Structures are given as C-alpha cells and as structure tokens.
Structure 1
C-alpha cells in the first residue's frame, strides 16, 4: 500500500487552506468593492430580521464546528487546454485527513495570518509549520502561497466577525435551492484595513430559521498586502434539526493565458463524519461499547474445526469493518449496499457457486478509484461507483460495470485471499483513529490480484453476464487515456486500484479492454465514464450514501462528457427528516416486499435488485 499521499490534518489544511494567486488572477479589493456597489436593493425590515438571525446562527455553527473532528478530503485537478474537449486534466492531487477544528479556528484577526509573516512562522498554530516541507512541492505545482486561515473561511465565511460591524448586506432576490426557500443577499466587507481576508460575495439564507445554506465568492485583499484568493462555492446540508453543516465546496480559477477560456485548476472539498467522537486526550486507545447484539443462544450448536476457522476469519473481518467505520472511512449500512449485495449474489448464482457466509457490501467514502475485500465484505469507493454509473434507458451499462468491479473482489473471496487473521485479536486494533491507514494494510499482493483478475474473467463469462463485458472494457479505455494525468485518483487509500501495481497504465482486468470497442470522444452517443459525484451523495452526519435521481442531460459535444473530472457542486437541499422507525418486532405481520428487477438481460436470482434509477 502506497501511503505517500496520506498526510496529517495539518498538511491537509495547509495544502488547500487559502490558495492564493499571483497579482494577475483577481482585481484588488477597491476595484471589487466598486463593482459590487450596485444592482441590489436595501433590505426591508423583515429581510433585516432574517439577516440578524443568520448572524446569530452563524456564530452557533462556528461554535459547533470547533467541537468536531470530521473527515476532510480535498481533490485538485490542474487543467490544460484541449482542442476537442476545450480543457482536460493535466495532473491531480489528493489529501485526506481527520481535522480537529478546535485547533484550527482561532479568534485573532485574519491580517495577522497573511503574507510572508505567516509563511515563516506557520501562523498562530505551531503544528502547521511541520507541514511546510510538504507544501513546498505543492506550491511549486500549483503556484500557491501558504495561508492557513483560508480553509476555515471557505466553510465558515468569517469565523470571527460575521456581523453588521464588519459587513454590509444588499438584497438580490428570492430563490429555491432544492426544496428550500431562500433569500439571496450580496455581502461586502466594510472598507478599511481590517477588510483584508474577509468574505466578499453572495449568501443564500433559508427563510424558516435564518441559516446560511450556501455562499459563493472569494475574499477581499488590499493594495499593501497584494493578497488574492481563489473563488469558491460552499454548500451546507441540514444534518440535524436546525443544524446546517458545511458539506462540500467547489473551487476554480481561470487560466489568464488561455485563449479558449479553459481553467487553470478546479478542486472539490468534502467534509463528513461530524458525528465521530474526538479521540480522547488521555485514552486514545479506548474502544467504544458494542450494543445491539442479537440473542441466538437457543440456536447454538457445536462448531467443527472448519467452522471454527471460518468464525475466526469472520471475527477479524468484523473487527476491521467496525474500526474503519469508527474512523469515518466506511458508509453506514444503507439500501444501496443491499443493491450491491444482490448483484454480487447474482454473479454467484450464474456461476453455480455457493458460499457459506453471505457476501456483504459497503461503500468507501473517499475519492480514489479502488475496491477491496475484507473477508466476505466487498468495499467499493464512492468515486468508482460514481464514474461507472453511466445512464442508459435500460441500466445495462451501469449494471455491467458494477458486475465487473464486484467480480474482481468476489474472485479474491473464492480464492481464499483473506485478511490477516491477526485482527481477530482486538488488541491489534487498539490504536488512535487518526492512524487507521498506517495500521491496517488491506491491499492484495501482486500475485493475488493477478489470480483474482483471471478468475473474475471466468465469472463474467457466464452467459448472463458475458454481453456486459464490453461496457467495462470501454470504461477502462476511457480511464487509460487519463490514468497518467490522474495519478492521485488512481492511487488507492487502503485497497486495490484498477491499475496494476507494477505498471503505470495496465489494468488488472486488461483483457476486457479489447472488448470495449474503439473509444471515440467525438461520438455524442458514446459515454464511457462519468464525472465524479455523478451517482451517490452522502449524509455528513450519519455517513450514509444515497443514490441520486438526476435528470438525463443531453450530450451536445465532447466537452459535455467530463470523464473522471471534478464538477461544480449543486446539492438538492431539503430540510432534515427523522430516520424511519425501527423494524417491527418478531411476530408482527409484515406486508410482502415489492418486486425487484434483475440486471438487464439476465433472469433474476432470489432477492436480487438493480442499481437505483438515476
């Protein structure tokens, strides 16, 4: 497992924190202020009341976020002009860490953390300076300047002084974001020395309780500091009653030298795992109490040696899955997991294979394209599920892609490539949550992956599955065109990549490449792979993944395809709904389940289902 990209929280925030551009990238504060003195209207009395609510709610959000240590992930794609696509990724970088925001959010004015002084001292927080060595390479690649305050601002606007003493508000319009009615205001920092580094843009305030649910813009600079900022679009979701938490933000900047209006770079940032507990200061190795065990004592039987061996393997599997979930890497069990399990069951049925323990599936919430098998549990990364979710009328292409991904890990299970059973001992997992990547290596060996790829092709040669091989072959052909420019996207966090570990552009299932036909980006009817975040969204509090139901957008040209690319955030916002009540106790009459549909072109096995409609 390659851990070169797994950095500390300090590095993560340092890396993306406040990316700042050269002088040509953005007008100075005075010019921006003049451009903003404008089109809006003076707020009415009722709108002023809403603004005052938003100021109060923002302070509450800052307080809550300071008490949390969620997972933060940043993925950056540097772009270059392309004659056919207008622009295409040239390189990428990925950062992942668990961040204790109480150590990041301070009370000092922003101007104390700008310019060379912050770069030399590491700012207010000493641990940042330990990451500056890593920043050297990143700054060279992106031509950035270190500024630690910026990351906080991108999720909180102004963690110190979001109030009427520091900002003016101008009403723009009313708007709906998803199902949420909002009032839209332009926000301008009051001019003066202390305006540097303050939010400059537009906010959306939901009208029920006065929460800011979206803000869009950048930050003010000054002539003296010559400080400039990247533009961003930050979104929040209603994770708990009355609580709107920072969830995702999108960043992009144009290339001033481009004649085709291509971007210099674009980036996405995701935050989840707000319900994760802070690592205890005095007892980091403490485990959490396990509740909800099912009493099966009446069914207890003697166990054979083989049964004992399998139970031992299962114990190791359960320990690791629980630990990964506690660390915020795995999704909470969801309906979508059941869909994957049904597809995996089909593959076994079509090949007349019986396993003693049912195959389970979970989603890895991180960006890189990877999958792995932990015992009889198959884990697939969210972005691998997103980019293979090609929309077709019959769903055949997405289903075939999922079959290929699942077959590779099912082959590992069949061939007995199991997790090291040392993790059946609980003490092996008593380590701080933040070091989970370093302490649980789960990728398979070169020999195991080679054998699994061969076995997976045999599984996919079943008559019900063989016609779908061409779709995943086309997906691999698209990935092959971009794999050298998207190295971070293809470098796994904990599992197996699609690319062979001994090659830069050869896949484990390389034999399927020839079955995909010729890749033709100019053919509007051919879509080989989707952009990132195309299929699944996540709940930042519960860590559940939910299949989106998106409209089918017509492809008008090659630039519309955006395979494996970062795309702007646009969340369908809605108010929080309490979870469904627990299942009825045993003995309670339950209505028969609704019929499910098998993958396109195949007779369904018992209990199967296809991916949710998009």
Structure 2
C-alpha cells in the first residue's frame, strides 16, 4: 500500500488557499474599480463638437450663396517648369487666362476677356484641339473650381479632425484635417482647412480633390480668403503646384500657377463713389457772371488739348469701370515722382500734366493713353530697381514728348458703351513701329539727362534676362493694350541698353536681373486700390532663390476689418477724390 507524498499534499492545499483568496478579493477589487474610474488621457486633442462643425459647414455654404452677389475679375497665370542644372527649375512655357467669375443656379460660370490678337479662326481652333490631345490642356474653369469646396461639403460626407490653433497674420485660426467619409462617391476634397475663430469662416484651404485617374486629374492647391468687409471673407488668391504628377498614360507634369481675384466692389472703387457722396450746395451770394470778361475763353490750341484730355479721361474711366485699371493712388504718386525727375532734368514743361496709373493685370506691358502713362502690375513686380523703372517710364514719356497722341474718337462717349469683356478689342492704344523706334531713341536721350544715367546697367541687365526668357514666356510678354517689350529672342523696347549691360551670371547670387511676380505691388481685392509691399528684404540663400519672372506661393498677412476701419478708409478715399478735383 502506497501513501501519498506529504509535500505534494501541502502544495495542493496551498494552491487551493490562494485560489479561494483571489475569489474572495475579486468582487472587492471590481467594486473599487467602479468607485474610481481611470482618468482620461491628459494630452488627448479635442475633437470639434457638432455645433462648431455645423457652423463651418454652414459658413461655407453661405459663402457660395453670397458669391452670387459679386462678379470679381479672375486672372490665372500658369508656368510649366523644366529642370535646370544651376537654377533647379525654370519656366519652359506658360498659359494665361483673364475673365469674370459669376455664380448662378447651375454653378460657376466665367466670361472670358478676349485679346484682339488672340481671337482664333476655325483652322486655329482645330489646331488647338489637336494640340490639347497631346499635352495637358489647362481649362480656366477648372482652376476657378478651386475657389470653393465641392457641393457635398457637409457633415454627411466629411469629418473634421482637430489639429491645433495657429495665427495667420493677425488672425487666430483653428486648423482641421478634412477627411471624406468612406461612402463618399465622386470628386471629394482631401486636405486641411484653417478656420477663423470668431464666425468660423474658412480662410485657407490646402489640398486636392480625389479620386484621380488617367483621364481625370486634379491639381494640388492652396487657397486664401481675405476679410474685405466686416464679417465678409472672400476668395483672393489660389496657388497651384505639381512637381511629379503623372497623368494620361504616364505623362509627367511639373507646373506652378497663381489665380488672383479682385474687383468685388467695382461700383464703389475710385471715382465711382462720387455720385453717392455728391452734395448739393446752396447758391452762394457772391457768385457773379464773369463770362463777359473773357477769363474763361479758350484758344484753339487749348481747346484741342482739352478735347484730347477728354478722350484720355474717357478711356481711363472705362478701363477702371471694367476692373482692369487701379484707381489713382499712392503707387501712381511713386511713378509720378520718377517722371518728374526726368521732366525737371530735361527742362520739359508738358501741358496737360503727365499722369501715371497701374494696370491690374500680370502680363508685362507699358503704354501711354494721351498724357497718362500706364504700367501693368506684373511689370512693376519684376523690375529690380528705380533705374529700371525709369527706363520703362522714359520710353512712354518719349511718346508724349514726340506728340504721339491718342485717337480723339474716344472723346465721343458712345464709343465707351460696350461689354467689359470687349475692352481689349474696343480700345486700341498700340503705337506704330516707326513711333516705337522714335520713342526708343528719345527715351535714351531723356535717360542720359536724368539722375539715372549712371545706373542704367541694371536696366540693361533686366532687358537681357527678359530677352533670354521671352521665347518660353510668350503669354507673360503678350500685352493686352500696348506694344511688346520683346518678341522671340529679341528685345523691342529700349534695346540699345542691352548692348551696354553686363553678361548674365546664373551662378552669381549677387546679380538679380529681375524679381519674381508679386514682389512689389499689393492689390486690394475689394476696391482695386494698389500699394507698395511693406516687407523686409530677404537675403538669398542660393541662386535658386532668384526666381526671375517666376510664379511664387502667396502668404497674405490676414487682418480683421472692423466697421470703424471700413468707414475710415471710405472717408479717406472721398477726401483724396476731393483733393484730386481741386488740383484739376
């Protein structure tokens, strides 16, 4: 007979005792855990509650509805890029579109502004269609669709994931990732939004649309909205870029482009406020009829000058009402100062006085409308210094000195009655080739007698780099109104300055022959006023920072517009207009 091992029995009893103890303490531990629940993670990012998300979705839908009140100008400029051993990438070709954006029940529409030189016949349209089959065809309407998020932007189709808070300029924003829900079909946005923290308006959109396919391609874009009036945030800038995109059977695409919107409040810009601010004055007691004394009589030459000035003013007013000419302002005074310097040093006494204005479009051009010199925003952006500006102004001043006049047919008001989109074809201010050559010669004489005579190397260098890029940037140098600055690989305006200019040195970081687009002029999208950029100069880190004539991303300094600020600006505009009337 075999007895059990006493040690084994004791180990068995010990295990039973431990099991009983655990069974007894288990309910107590569970009860304790119910009394003290675990605290939530301390660093968990808060997600937007339904109320905030609803506000964001509502404001975006409201913006689309409110945009039906406005018909802003829309300008898109695109540069296709190619690799460059020294500069990284440079433009290889470009594309340009200018139109007016309008919304109706069917969605986004656009009215295209046609240049006289760009109107295509039937054969050209066929070639365009064949050409678009072999390469990327940029459709302007496709770019304007980047102004808004798609129609299905709501809580049923998207989830907003909170990331952080961030200041954009002076405005505090809340940043969300926008994630489409799994059942979302058709084109949908994927990316990030920045929402201002008071009314929850989207002020920045960064991302793209999906899904992509071989024949359905969406660009990445970075879209900005500006607070133009109290509580009103409207689209102003869109930057697009692709560096390694593949589309349509593995064809590559490298490009960058910029879309600008302006002219939201054309009816109140510049001189258009005169009627609403007009006051009827009571008859003055000391007013008497002096017509018989001959003080107001005009001589024939003076009458001719007045007639020419009337044609000039009619054209300027029509361009401003069309939304392509900035109201008279501070930038005009800067240009006027340079012109005055040349007038004084050349002993010129020009009547009526020479004026300066800014064309709001990107293509590089300058021209004169009677005694008014007009320079495009794009050209002002890329000029490297004051001497280069003087070079451009001297050419147009030479036209005035030589008596190259505006056709006085524009003094008849009926010629100003036409749709805005026909402004480029209805108004012709281009000069004859012989007059252009004469202005080149006279302009050089004016420069040689000016304070800029010893600084013309930079002006010649600007023309030299323009000459080297003009073959690739055909749309950038294609003017709306004036004569070309360059054609093919040749400079047409002030060409003798190129001969005395230094050679281009791509590796020389100190040599900056031309600036990127957007470097100098700031445009107010609400009322079309322009002013000089107020930013600190940036040191170039490498030759790739030169970016001559190139499109660049946009980072506007966002600020809030209060009711008081808006009223002050309007009063200042009225005061400026009163001063201008008195000067006239």
TM-score, normalization: structure 2? 0.79
**Aligned-partner Cα distance in 2 for 1:447–1:325:** 30
Map of 1:112 onto structure 2? none
Counterpart-to-counterpart distance in 1, 2:347 and 2:504: 34
In structure 2, the partner of 1:176 is 167
Is 2:508 the counterpart of 1:523?
yes
More strand by share: 2
**Which of 434, 438, 453 in structure 2 is aligned with 1:447?**
434
Distance in 2, Cα, partners of 1:412 & 1:435: 26
Larger Rg: 2
Q: What's the counterpart of residue 249 of structure 2? A: none
Kept in 1, the 8 Å contact 2:97–2:140? The answer is no
* TM-fit CA distance, 1:179: 1.0
Residue 205 (structure 1) aligned with residue 195 (structure 2): yes
What is the CA–CA distance in structure 2 between the aligned matches of 1:370 and 1:312, rounded to whole Å?
26
Q: For residues 574 and 256 of structure 2, what CA distance do their matches in structure 1 show?
A: 48
Shift of the 81–374 alpha-carbon distance from structure 1 to 2, 3 Å rule, reads: same
Matched, 1:236 2:225: yes
> Which of 47, 55, 58 is the matching residue for 1:56?
58
Q: Determine which of 304, 329, 337 is the counterpart of 1:334.
A: 329
Give the deviation of 1:103 after TM superposition.
Answer: 6.9
Native 8 Å contact 1:198 1:219 kept in 2:
yes
The correspondence for 1:472, drawn from 451, 459, 482, is 459
Q: State whether residues 67 and 102 of structure 1, in contact with CA within 8 Å, keep that contact through their aligned partners in structure 2.
A: no
Q: Is 2:152 the partner of 1:161?
A: yes
In 2, are the aligned partners of 1:104 and 1:152 still within 8 Å (CA)? no
Find 1:552's aligned residue among 528, 537, 554.
Answer: 537
Contact 2:373 2:393 in 1 (8 A): yes
1:436 matched to 2:423: yes
Deviation at residue 100 of structure 1 after TM alignment? 2.5
For the pair 1:380 / 2:375, whether they are aligned, the reply is yes
How far off its partner does 1:298 sit? 7.9
Paired position in structure 2 for 1:139 = 132
Q: Does 1:317 find its partner at 2:312?
A: yes
Change (3 A) 1:352 1:103: farther
* Counterpart Cα distance in 2 of 1:220 and 1:354: 63
209-218 or 194-203, larger mean C-alpha shift: 194-203
CA change 1:137–1:531 in 2 (3 A) is farther
Q: CA deviation at 1:293?
A: 8.1
Residues 134/215 of structure 1: CA separation in 2 closer, same or farther (3 Å cut): farther
Q: Is 1:264 the equivalent of 2:268?
A: no
Q: Separation in 2 of the partners of 1:481 and 1:506?
A: 9
Structure 1 gap ranges (5+): 1-38, 108-130, 279-287, 391-397, 591-614
- Superposed, 1:328-407 pairs within 5 Å as 328-388=323-383, 390=384, 398-407=385-394
Residue aligned with 1:467, SS: coil
User: Aligned equivalents of 2:311 and 2:417: distance in 1?
Assistant: 13
Structure 2 unaligned blocks of 5 or more: 1-42, 110-123, 247-251, 282-286, 580-584
Asked if structure 2 preserves the Cα contact closer than 8 Å seen for 1:69 and 1:277, the reply is no
Match of 1:196 in 2: 186
* 2:267/2:273 contact within 8 Å kept: no
Question: Counterparts of 1:255 and 1:405 in 2: how far apart (Å)?
Answer: 38
Per-residue deviation, residues 266-295 of structure 1 (Å, max 9, x unmatched): 1111111112469xxxxxxxxx89737899
Structure 2 Cα separation of the partners of residues 517 and 40 of structure 1:
61
Structure 2 partner of 1:11: none
Q: Quote the residue 1:600 is aligned against.
A: none
Deviations along 1:329-374, whole A, 9 cap, x unmatched? Answer: 1012221111111111111001110111221111111111001101
Cα-to-partner distance string for 1:545-576 (whole Å, 9 max, x where unaligned): 12112232221222110100011111111112
* Pick aligned residue for 1:250 from 234, 239, 244: 239
Give CA-to-partner distance per residue, 1:360-390, whole Å, 9 cap, x none: 11111111100110111111000100001x3
In 1, Cα distance between equivalents of 2:262 and 2:108: 21
- Report the count of equivalent residues: 498
Distance 2:140 2:499 in 1: 48
Q: Tell me, what secondary structure is at the counterpart of 2:146?
A: helix
Q: Secondary structure at the match of 2:490?
A: coil
TM-score normalized by structure 1? Answer: 0.75
Matched, 1:73 2:60: no
- 2:18 alignment counterpart: none
Matches within 5 A, 1:6-45: 41=45, 43-45=47-49
For residues 444-593 of structure 1, what are the structure 2 equivalents within 5 Å? 444-462=431-449, 464-499=451-486, 504-576=489-561, 577-578=565-566, 579-580=568-569, 581-582=571-572
- Relative to structure 1, the CA distance from residue 515 to residue 424 in structure 2 (aligned partners, 3 Å threshold; closer, same or farther) is same
Q: CA deviation at 1:214?
A: 0.5
- Pick closer, same or farther for the CA change 1:49–1:336 going to 2, 3 Å: farther
Is the Cα–Cα contact under 8 Å of residues 40 and 186 in structure 1 kept in the other structure?
no
Work out the CA distance in 2 between the residues paired with 1:206 and 1:337: 34
Residues 330, 40 of structure 1: alpha-carbon distance in 2 compared, 3 angstrom cutoff: farther
The answer to whether the 8 A contact 1:105-1:152 is kept is no
How many Å separate the matches in 1 of 2:72 and 2:238? Answer: 15
How far did 1:41 drift?
A: 4.4
- Please point out which of 249, 258, 264 is paired with 1:274: 264
Q: C-alpha distance in 1, partners of 2:429/2:140?
A: 35
Corresponding residue number in structure 2 for 1:427: 414
Q: Report the secondary structure of 1:518's partner residue.
A: coil
